[in-house]
Amino acid sequence: MAKDLEKKLKQFRNKPLHSKEWSDSLERKIILYTKDNPIPDSVTKELKSSRQRQRVTDGSSFLEQPTFRGMFYQLRLSSLGMKMTLALGLILALVGGVGAAAEAAVPSEPLYSWKVNVNERARSAITVGAQNQAEYEVKLMQKRLGELAKVSVQAEVDAQAQTEATVRFGAQQDKVQARIESLENESNTRVALEINSRAAATLEANAELLSGLRLRIPPVANRGLETAIDSIVSARDRIEARASGLEARFRSEVQARGEAMLVVEARERVQAGESRVNMATRIADEAATQNALTIEIRGQLRDAQNALIRAQEALERENHFQAITEAQVAVEAALEIESKIKARLQAADQVKDLLRIGDQLDIEAEGETEAELDLDLEIDSEVESEIENELNLGNQLFIGS
Amino acid sequence: MNEGQGKKFVAVYRQYFPKIYKYCLFRLNSKEDAEDLTEQTFLRTWDYLIQGNEIENFRAFLFRVAHNQVIDLYSKREIDRKHSEPLINQEGRERDLPDETDLLADNQEKELYQEAQEELDQLKPEYREVMILYYVEDLDLSEIAEILGLTEGNVRVRLHRARNKLKEAMR
């Protein structure tokens, strides 16, 4: 029978099974999508000049890939006046790069509205499925976190920009919560749990990184930073408060299922756990080679691997409930690891930006030129080594396998 | 704007979409799901590229994305099944019998397809997958290993176990 099946399957090798109508329609959609979302020229140039390539062995990791750092540097709207800012925006619009240029904008900047109302809405519109939409909202939350961090350490904190950034972050965090609730209401508790884990890990990683900047940023900017940290920590606490309720509901849903369903689900979940933990392990290994793996994340990886082993053993013993619940623990831990590393990578670019802004604040405060000033920041050695790790991480293009 | 890259990507789409679609169809046995997942595979791949990433092996990458989406859809389907009563086999896969074989020219081909799916249904999902990738998609072991995040040894073992399982089913 095995040979029969092999022969049967081989017969389909060169046989097209799709309809031409559908494939033509999809091709038109893809052409339109690539035109509406072009690869920015600067990204192509930077890739060529840096000769950095990614060997991709795990396609789904791209969902967690941090936004390429080049896009953050495309539009370096430092301390230019509004006229220069608007002129730059016009030039970019003329060469057709408005969409790409807008990606680096923060609240109060001219292109920010384009970023939020055009770029992000377009992407949201083509995101299909409740889970994908929830994941996209978490990605947007990471973006709002970056914007909040950036505006919070401006020299004279632009109160309006910070208020807007805080409001937008809060609104985005509410959207994430709403997606989680919606998934829960659709009895998609497992996915709700996973999205919750991602969101909590993203917030925690950002709070940690910003806290690490306290000693690096001059006092004048500290107030803005503290406000940002408070917002993030409150959001994290709210999200974490949901976790135990979701876990309890998940367990009771699994317990209520019939044995036949449990058998199938147990296999699927253990397989999903293997896939997720393998991915998290590869991402963590890569981060480790760049000195970007914290002790906490290492510990979480061990927990994920142990949970997976327990799930596999439970499956062999045909204890399907335990296999499912342990596999879920493994998946969530793996998602947290991915989210934290990703948040740290994205935040690493922000940290560099923030450090540059922090240096600039000192220079302006002293009233001397950058060339003349000999910066003398007193930094705790432990914080310095952590920041160095972040900078080294930011200097490398993250390779997700 | 980099239109050249867009055109190249459309060429990649033309080259690989039949394979990705076939893979999704064999795994899910649902034309609608296969079409949906194929679309998502290519759109997400483009999203990956516009973030500044490069892909060395498009074929493996696309299969990997499709594979992960199938896993997610399976998980969701188990929950959705609570609300409907589709035909299911012992592995819990839905079976839409008539539509999926509309595109096959003659009755013999339709019969072949249904038989193949019935036999695949006897296998665990992980064994079914390697059978599809190896025999239908004609991928080599190293590429299958790359797609599934396994070693070549693992892939070999799964193929071996799949064949043994089918032999046992005959007895």
* pLDDT tens per residue, range B104-122: 556 777 888 888 888 888 8
Q: What is the pTM of this model?
A: 0.46
A320 within some domain: no
Among chain B residues, the shortest Cα distance to A272 is held by B71
Q: Output A123-126 pairs: Cβ under 8 A, ≥24 positions apart.
A: A123/A37, A123/B47, A126/A33, A126/B43
Two tokens, residue B74: 């399976």
Cβ atoms B117, A9 nearer than 8 A:
no
Range of A75's domain? 69-126
Residues with Cβ within 8 Å of B96's Cβ and at least 6 positions away in sequence, in order, are B29, B30, B31, B86, B87
Q: Kindly state the DSSP code that residue A56 receives in the 8-state scheme.
A: -
Contact A27 B10 (CB under 8 A): yes
Two tokens, residue A308: 């997976």
| Mean pLDDT of the region B147-156 | 87
Below-70 pLDDT ranges, chain A: 1-2, 42-102, 117, 119, 121-128, 153-157, 215-218, 220-221, 289-292, 346-401
A174 within some domain: no
A99 within some domain: yes
Q: Quickly state the pLDDT bin for B10 (edges 50, 70, 90).
A: very high
Q: Quickly state the pLDDT bin for B141 (edges 50, 70, 90).
A: very high
A133 within some domain: no
For position A50, what pLDDT does the model report?
45
Query: What average pLDDT does the structure give for chain B?
Result: 81
State the total domains in chain A.
1
Q: How far apart are CA A147 and CA B78, in angstroms?
A: 39
pLDDT higher at B168 or A22: A22
Domains (range + CATH), chain B: 3-95 (1.10.1740)
Contact B166 A1 (CB under 8 A): yes
Q: Which residue in the block uniquely carries the two structure tokens 């927990």?
A: A303
Q: How far apart are CA A350 and CA A106, in angstroms?
A: 12
For position A400, what pLDDT does the model report?
37
Å between A227 CA and nearest CA of chain B? 30
For position A42, what pLDDT does the model report?
61
Q: Calculate Rg over the CA atoms of chain A.
A: 24
For position A100, what pLDDT does the model report?
65
Q: Residue B26: enclosing H or E segment and its boundaries?
A: helix B3-28
CB-based contact (8 Å) between A2 and chain B? yes
Q: How far apart are CA A278 and CA A290, in angstroms?
A: 19
What are residue A105's phi and psi, to 5 degrees? -75, 150
A221 within some domain: no
Cβ atoms A301, A284 nearer than 8 A:
yes
Contact B91 A264 (CB under 8 A): yes
